[in-house]
Structure 1
């Protein structure tokens, strides 16, 4: 089957879970004997740069998501759709929620919805871009919608009043970072164990709650540091919060970089803490499990569905409960070891191969 993916997410993300999902899916589809192709005429995506040229139609023109990339969007839209139509795929999988008028297709379209965070927390997002409006429009025009968890499927059906038969659930796979081989300078210079926070920190991601929960525990403050990966450098407000809870900036470190760096951070962390109020799926807990890192996670949205019995849970609205969960895990070697074992077992439920197989089932159903 010829499966075409459009340009959208690859002009918006250098790294990121969504673009990683599509590249991993396309690679697995090719291994299955299918014919996937990503049409991204001008992109900034790192994953496309390292995948097979047989899959990618386009070139990398920037190493970051800059204003230049935003300016390419209209051209990308025109060229991507022209190339897709010329290629005549059996099905098109849209990679995001287009800001442009949808082109006419001679084949069915599938859309993946990753979460309903813009609908759950509208106050935390700029009205510029109208993501929620674009998402609803994309859902309505798609022949079928894939959600990445039952939690997201339920939220989508409720928010947009979508026919249940139009929406399927396909779980994501995860990356094991098997190419990790380089220790980062920040880790080499650290003489203390640390708790790891990954990704964006604003609003519903609950970084402020995590800091307060950590600082609430004298034992954690004495024995552990905090390492943060991704999400950009600390803002002035975050630095002020760090100081206000009695921590110094050398105890709360930020690290950016590639997946190699992230894998190294997971493998050496005392535990990974995921305090988010809401996630459509949540890849970081699986990535942590794959590196033998215990997972301490919110009891909310899709997290119990994904993490299962491999995590230590807390109410993300309770600073006291989050603090107690962190203490419980890091100060109990036996519990940490049992959580690591449970994590490895849990991972058997998720793989990119399984994701591709179930996605192919959706494609076949839609084409028929």
Structure 2
């Protein structure tokens, strides 16, 4: 079996899809079931997985210029897919796997990973331009792909039902957390989090981009309802890129920071993030919709109790190890957050169950399920 794996998402910083592509590429590279594995990055095919490096000044400036110019954007939109197709044309006997939904035209045997359908099912949570572009491209890729892969059984069933596809066209290959996420001793945690102005075990954590789908507004409202003494002793720490439609949230962040019960860190370095997870009293994730919900898995692997919504794929990931409620239920969320901080009996059980649950997910398993999908092609 010959495979060409797309590596465009592998860039610094490694976000969710970039991490998925990087980890899966490394596992596929040692599989005895793949006789030849190549990597498509941009329009170039090589035998090496690219490093997750930051863009240099020249390439970054060029990208910004293209984004600002309508003509340049249009030319790029036409030329980039053709160049990818031309590169793939030289390998007609290889399966091409795009790890982020997009397939160029005339690719031959092909597989695409669909991480979620939020631009269709939660379109109101995305910028209008992104919705129009991604809806069009996803439908085109769906027609071009021989097989589709999803991150969870939830997303698999959703894709099948939403687009009325045959069940033998869509397969799930579940994600895993990085090996960097595991329980750590207080001393090593303190060496990192104290630089951020935090105390190990004395904060609750949310990570994710600051955008409507993450339901941070509900999280803030629930946290505000906690007794004052708890909020001061266990401030809410939020880590993530500033996203879209987040101006009002940042105003609330600033007010809560002045009141002493919230810390907004912005983007946290990948080298520091595992320590930030491991040092949390509990991890809070009331997202409206997730194709998988990797942060809750990273929290469980770090030995941290989880409170999350019972929406979309999250119950599939946490099993019975977390406290869950409806995403918009502010009152219940407040009660669960307080329980996750104060109920030591539940905390010990949640940590044990979470570690066991996290171990059921691995990148080796993800690679094996991905190869099973390849075999259908």
TM over 0.5: yes
Alignment of 1:244-259 (within 5 A): 248=259, 251-259=262-270
Counterparts of 1:215-364 in structure 2, within 5 Å, are 215-218=224-227, 219-232=229-242, 236-242=247-253, 248=259, 251-364=262-375
Supply the distance in 1 between the matched residues of 2:257 and 2:372 (Cα, whole angstroms).
53
Partner of residue 55, structure 1: 48
Task: Give the aligned partner of residue 158 of structure 1.
Answer: 161
* Superposition RMSD in Å: 3.1
Q: Residues 56 and 212 of structure 1: is their aligned pair in 2 closer, same or farther, counting only changes over 3 Å?
A: same
Q: Deviations over 1:300-333 (max 9, x none)?
A: 1111111101111122111011110011111122
Q: Contact 1:113/1:145 (CA < 8 Å) preserved in 2?
A: yes
Aligned position for 2:105: 103
Query: Over residues 58-79 of structure 1, what are the superposed CA-to-partner deviations in whole Å (9 max), with x where a residue is unaligned?
Result: 9967169956337495565444
Question: Is the deviation greater in 335-344 or in 229-238?
Answer: 229-238
Aligned length: 353
**Cα offset, 1:247, TM superposition:** 5.8
CA contact (8 A) 2:234 2:261 kept: no
Answer whether contact 2:225 2:334 (CA < 8 A) is retained: yes
Q: Deviations over 1:173-217 (max 9, x none)?
A: 221316997843665532481110101122121111101101101
For 1:42 and 1:163, the matched residues in 2 are separated by 32
TM-score norm. by structure 1 comes to: 0.85
Partner of 2:115: 114
Is residue 20 of structure 1 aligned with residue 23 of structure 2? Answer: no
Please state how far the C-alpha of 1:84 moved relative to its aligned partner: 3.0
- Number of the residue aligned with 1:69: 63
Calculate the TM-score normalised by the size of structure 2.
Answer: 0.83
Contact 1:94/1:111 (<8 A) preserved:
yes
The C-alpha deviation readout for 1:2-48, integer Å capped at 9, x for no partner, is 2112354347x7421112112211111112233333211489xxxxx
- Alignment match, 2:69: none
Provide the rounded CA distance (Å) in 2 between the counterparts of 1:252 and 1:60.
29
How far is 1:83 from its partner? 3.2
Unaligned runs of 5+ in 2: 67-72
Shift of residue 351, structure 1, vs aligned partner: 0.3
Helix, strand or coil at the partner of 1:309: coil
* Contact 1:6–1:94, Cα closer than 8 Å, also in 2: yes
